[in-house]
Amino acid sequence: MAANDPDQRRALYIISVAAELAGVHAQTLRIYERKGLIAPARTEGGSRRYSDRDIELLQRIQELTNEGVGLAGVRRILDLEARLEDAVAEIERLQEGLAAVRREMEDARRARPKGGELVPVAKTVVRVRRS
Predicted confidence band of residue 124 (pLDDT cuts 50, 70, 90): low
DSSP assignment letter at 45: T
Chain Cα centroid distance, residue 50 = 19
**Structure confidence by residue, pLDDT tens digits, 35-62:** 999 999 999 999 999 999 999 999 999 9
109 within a domain of the structure (yes/no)? yes
Total number of domains constituting the chain: 1
**Predicted pLDDT of residue 108:** 82
Percent of the chain with pLDDT over 70: 79
Question: Domain range for residue 81?
Answer: 6-129
| pLDDT higher than threshold 60 for residue 2 | no
1 within a domain of the structure (yes/no)? no
**Predicted pLDDT of residue 1:** 44
13 within a domain of the structure (yes/no)? yes
Task: Please report, for the domain that includes residue 119, its CATH number.
Answer: 1.10.1660.10
83 vs 7, which has greater pLDDT?
A: 83
Q: Is the dihedral of CA 86, 92, 94, 97 positive or negative?
A: negative
Whether the Cβ atoms of residue 111 and residue 124 lie closer than 8 Å to each other: no
Whether the Cβ atoms of residue 120 and residue 127 lie closer than 8 Å to each other: no
98 within a domain of the structure (yes/no)? yes
Please tell me the pTM assigned to this model.
Answer: 0.67
**Structure confidence by residue, pLDDT tens digits, 76-115:** 999 999 999 999 999 999 999 999 999 998 888 888 766 6
| pLDDT higher than threshold 70 for residue 119 | no
81 within a domain of the structure (yes/no)? yes
According to DSSP, the residues that pair with 118 across neighbouring strands are 127
**Predicted pLDDT of residue 129:** 73
| pLDDT higher than threshold 90 for residue 4 | no
